[in-house]
Structure 1
Amino acid sequence: MDPKLKTKISKLPKEPGVYIFFDNTGRVIYVGKSVSLKKRVISYFSYKNLGPKTAAMVKKIADIKFIKVFSEFEALLLESELIKKYKPFFNVQAKDDKSPLYIKIEDNQIPLITTVRKGKMQKSVFVKGPFPSSAKTREILKIIRKIFPYCHHKNPKRPCLYVHLGLCPYPYQSQEAQTEYLSTTKKIKQLLSGKTFTLIKKLTSEMQSLSNLQRYEEAQIVKNQVDNIQKILREIHNPLEFIKTPTLVSDLTLSRLKDLKVKLGLSKIPKRMECYDISNLGGLHATGSMAVFTNGLHDKAQYRRFKIKFTKRPNDYEMLSEAMARRLKNAWKLPDLIIIDGGRGQLNAALSIMDKFNVNIPVVSLAKKYEHIYTPKKVLPVSLTKESPARQLLQSIRDEAHRFAVNYHRHLRSKAFFN
């Protein structure tokens, strides 16, 4: 392998993104995506049995470039956009001479959402793509369907399996259902187009209107949609933004860190942040988690989980104290900022443990309901807008800690059930 290429590969990030292979003439020969850029690119040069097409491609690689993104969903959309832009030889060959695959939303009374090999289409038909494979296209549709159940079957008389699973609204049942479904497809178009901010703003307004009309169940459904978009996708950026500014992730992450420093009155930008959360069911199978962000991005190799020993009764404060005490007994690198998932009570529990270990580190807590930030020096919580970069960063690490704790808790429950 060329020494310059080897050096480039060694410096690739472990975050999600899109990688681009060039040949010795500077032509793009392949575009791919991965949740870990470094791991994926290294695999091309590590495995011996790559297959004839992949092996031929690897021999032609003369240069590598990458674009970092915030989520795998963004990587899928950006990969699609770059393939459409460059039409790389080996991406085309990988399709076995089939035409590119697209997501299509029909323009009729009940717009079915399907995949299609692009041919002649009406201008009014919404088409997104091309996507590199049917597997990746299904992956995108699966994510979308969990947020906005949609319809893809043509039989109006017989509900499909997805209706029974709650993943299809069955718009054939009434005129009202059709009208509501048309609204849903418009939201899906916005999601696929990367217009997340506009979509969330619209959904929030819709949720407020339903709440004012005391239609609370419907308002809760819309709230769940907003939460799922923010949790799973956090903030989708239009693929064209990444193409225009390849350093977008680094730029936005630095912006969030600087904003966090100002909003919390920190003495320096927090390079390492740790967030703690507790998960249990009535005190049973209690778990604690420690999620770590390094330079504003998740650092999963540093995550830690704790099987809580305190089982006398449900007590989040005692459980949090135990998790933090066990963490501080270890000689792990200390963070520049500690975040606690919870309110004032959880914050006080964390401060008490830190005092026992003579640890003086800035610590805050983030309460879920109103996303209020509690600090040791202020009586009233800090309230930031949804658009605040600092709030988005705190939410990201809090959601990671919550996900990690819940997954371990479910694992312990399953283990206990089968035993």
Structure 2
Amino acid sequence: MIDLKDVPQDPGCYLFKDAEGTIIYIGKAKNLKKRVSSYFQKTDHNAKTKRMVSEAADLDFIITASEVEALILENTLIKRHQPKFNIDLKDAKSYAFIRISDDPFPRIGIARYRGGKKGGTLYGPFVSAAERDHVLAFIKQTFHLRTCRKMTRRACLRSHLGTCSAPCQGKVSEPEYQYQVKSADLLLKGKNQDLIASLKGEMVEHSEQQDFEAALAIRDQITAIEHLSERQYVQRQKQANEHIINYQIVSGTVYLILFTIERGTLTSKEEFVFPDTEDFLEEFIIQYYAGVKPPNELILPEMPDSNIEEYLSNIRETKVTLTIPVQGAKKHLLDLVMKNIEASFFAGKMRVIELGEALHLPAPPDVIECFDISHLSGTGTVGSMVSFQDGKPDKKNYRRFRIKTVEGIDDFSSIAEVVKRRYSRLKKEEQPFPDLIIIDGGQGQLHAAEAELRELNLSIPLISIAKREEEIFTTGRALPIPLSKKSPASLLVQEIRDEAHRFAITYQRQIRRKKALS
């Protein structure tokens, strides 16, 4: 049975494997956890899907930055691995690019890149055919580039309609035509603001020369470009290939992931685990690229030995650049690899370790229980308790409570009741206690829970989290713990609190629904 606890709630691709490790199905998802879970929760699958689920013995996944990136990655992975339960894509079309040829008077059109050499310049890929066609039509209409495969001396329909500058008829010089090509190139590369600035300068020049007709035409171009910028979506083209390497060291072991990006598109993820040594990064790079052609650029979290760049360049026989980004798009790529490391190797474990360090606990709180109270204007009050194991929901140990001893709105007494009921039972049954207890609320709720634990002669680490400022309080301290709201430890506490809140509200609504029906 595939363990779904470690599947993240991020966009990306999932890969089902059989008992021998062969990939049998590849899919994409906006939310990986929801999509993968649906295979094992639903019962109305078709015969093919049922067979695939029955053969699936293992699961791998790659987190992407967006759903669109997952769509492109899925296409790439299916073509590479050709899993037996995916549709046969041998003859399927690739995602389309817009291409400007390298002729003296370049033509613009659609091209499908399949990995071979293609003359001219490619822009894309475009995931949406409608968006691609819109952009292509816009450029033809705005910059009057030719679309004919061969230039003949006979005027075409677009020439008569005024949407082609008609170089075949000698109506435009090569420098003038190349200027329009350059404008289209800027637009397709996403440099819309540079293009608009250039056009505005040109419009001012025409106005000063009282060439108002030309100035008006440029003004219309600027308006059209600004409108296009509002709706255009295209994966920006990169000519160079990149590898992104990031790692995490835990207990003397290196957990490393390498992303491959080809022409600006994420195509694969490779995972490595090996003992930590003094120069492990240099050793990894030397061994890995002894059998793999290095990319144009290698993006790393730190600079290895200075000779590595020369070593890689000699293998590739062209310049290889090592980049250690501190901000911008390349830094986001490094962060994305780190997110995959945490999801693939540690899931919530790293956040649990950070939380234990932030609270100065003697050991990471592997088992965390969190309480919340829900009511509707003081009626139908219920309590919830959720359990997290290694930073992951442990739903079999969730508990819910109907408040029995409290009337009206009294969150303090309600928290006291559910804490007493929970831990008096564990104590009576000699069950293990959690490593940390979280209370949804401020210091009032915290003190109420602390009093009940004291009555039971229990010493369990206890904190509370106040919703408005996400401040975390602990016993024996008047001020909140100095912890950033965006830190992994704080985000874990917020995630657990939100789950307890969701579970409490769901139970409270169920009770109200049953009462209304009765």
User: Do both proteins adopt the same fold according to a TM-score greater than 0.5, normalized to the shorter chain?
Assistant: yes
Deviation at 1:41, TM superposition (A): 7.1
**Counterparts of 1:94 and 1:284, CA distance in 2:** 58
Deviation at 1:93, TM superposition (A): 1.8
Q: Which runs of 5+ in 1 are unaligned?
A: 1-8, 103-114, 126-180, 190-237
Structure with the larger RCO, 1 or 2 (CA within 8 Å, 6+ apart): 1
Aligned to 1:330, what secondary structure does the other structure show? helix
Quickly say closer, same or farther: Cα 1:26–1:330, change in 2 above 3 A: closer
Aligned to 2:354, what secondary structure does the other structure show? helix
**Are 2:126 and 1:31 equivalent residues in the alignment?**
no
Deviation at 1:337, TM superposition (A): 0.3
Quickly say closer, same or farther: Cα 1:100–1:408, change in 2 above 3 A: farther
Question: Of 305, 314, 320, which aligns to 2:409?
Answer: 314
**Counterparts of 1:373 and 1:79, CA distance in 2:** 36
Deviation at 1:282, TM superposition (A): 2.4
The farther-off stretch of 27-36 and 295-304 is 27-36
| 8 A contact 1:16–1:37 mirrored in 2 | no
**Are 2:74 and 1:83 equivalent residues in the alignment?**
yes
Aligned to 1:404, what secondary structure does the other structure show? helix
**Counterparts of 1:313 and 1:23, CA distance in 2:** 56
Give 2:47's aligned residue.
Answer: 51
Question: Of 387, 395, 416, which aligns to 1:300?
Answer: 395
Give 1:264's aligned residue.
Answer: 359
Give 1:161's aligned residue.
Answer: none
Deviation at 1:13, TM superposition (A): 4.0
Deviations 1:229-270 (A, max 9, x none): xxxxxxxxx899667874332446333222211211111100
| 8 A contact 1:14–1:38 mirrored in 2 | no
**Are 2:375 and 1:285 equivalent residues in the alignment?**
no
Aligned to 1:279, what secondary structure does the other structure show? strand
Question: Of 7, 19, 30, which aligns to 1:16?
Answer: 7
| 8 A contact 1:15–1:37 mirrored in 2 | no
Deviation at 1:295, TM superposition (A): 0.5
Quickly say closer, same or farther: Cα 1:417–1:19, change in 2 above 3 A: same
Aligned to 1:312, what secondary structure does the other structure show? coil
Matched ranges for 1:141-160 at <5 A: none
Quickly say closer, same or farther: Cα 1:52–1:38, change in 2 above 3 A: closer
Aligned to 1:292, what secondary structure does the other structure show? strand
**Counterparts of 1:361 and 1:124, CA distance in 2:** 67
Quickly say closer, same or farther: Cα 1:244–1:322, change in 2 above 3 A: closer
Matched ranges for 1:1-400 at <5 A: 9=1, 12-17=3-8, 19-21=14-16, 28-32=23-27, 35=33, 51-52=47-48, 55=51, 64-67=58-61, 80-87=71-78, 89=82, 93=87, 120-121=132-133, 122=135, 246-249=340-343, 250-251=345-346, 253-331=348-426, 332-400=431-499
Opposite residue 51 of structure 1, the aligned amino acid is A
Deviation at 1:357, TM superposition (A): 1.1
Give 1:206's aligned residue.
Answer: none
Opposite residue 312 of structure 1, the aligned amino acid is E
Quickly say closer, same or farther: Cα 1:26–1:394, change in 2 above 3 A: closer
Opposite residue 394 of structure 1, the aligned amino acid is V
Aligned to 1:66, what secondary structure does the other structure show? strand
Quickly say closer, same or farther: Cα 1:183–1:313, change in 2 above 3 A: farther
Give 1:6's aligned residue.
Answer: none
Quickly say closer, same or farther: Cα 1:373–1:77, change in 2 above 3 A: farther
Deviation at 1:307, TM superposition (A): 1.1
| 8 A contact 2:470–2:485 mirrored in 1 | no
Quickly say closer, same or farther: Cα 1:245–1:94, change in 2 above 3 A: farther
Give 1:131's aligned residue.
Answer: none
Quickly say closer, same or farther: Cα 1:62–1:407, change in 2 above 3 A: closer
Deviation at 1:327, TM superposition (A): 0.7
The farther-off stretch of 291-300 and 34-43 is 34-43
Opposite residue 85 of structure 1, the aligned amino acid is T
Deviations 1:381-414 (A, max 9, x none): 1242232111111101000001111111111122
Aligned to 1:365, what secondary structure does the other structure show? strand
Aligned residues: 287
Aligned to 1:257, what secondary structure does the other structure show? helix
Give 2:166's aligned residue.
Answer: none
Deviation at 1:124, TM superposition (A): 11
Aligned to 2:348, what secondary structure does the other structure show? helix
| 8 A contact 2:4–2:33 mirrored in 1 | no
TM-score (normalizing by structure 2): 0.46
Opposite residue 78 of structure 2, the aligned amino acid is K
Quickly say closer, same or farther: Cα 1:52–1:303, change in 2 above 3 A: closer
Quickly say closer, same or farther: Cα 1:392–1:100, change in 2 above 3 A: farther
Quickly say closer, same or farther: Cα 1:94–1:41, change in 2 above 3 A: farther
| 8 A contact 2:348–2:392 mirrored in 1 | yes
Opposite residue 35 of structure 1, the aligned amino acid is K
**Counterparts of 1:245 and 1:306, CA distance in 2:** 36
Deviation at 1:324, TM superposition (A): 1.0
Deviation at 1:333, TM superposition (A): 3.1
What's the Cα RMSD here? Answer: 4.6
Q: Which runs of 5+ in 2 are unaligned?
A: 97-126, 139-226, 236-331
Give 1:146's aligned residue.
Answer: none
Task: Select the structure that is richer in helix.
Answer: 1
| 8 A contact 1:14–1:36 mirrored in 2 | no
| 8 A contact 1:13–1:36 mirrored in 2 | no
Opposite residue 60 of structure 2, the aligned amino acid is F
| 8 A contact 1:287–1:405 mirrored in 2 | yes
**Counterparts of 2:49 and 2:443, CA distance in 1:** 59
**Counterparts of 2:95 and 2:398, CA distance in 1:** 38
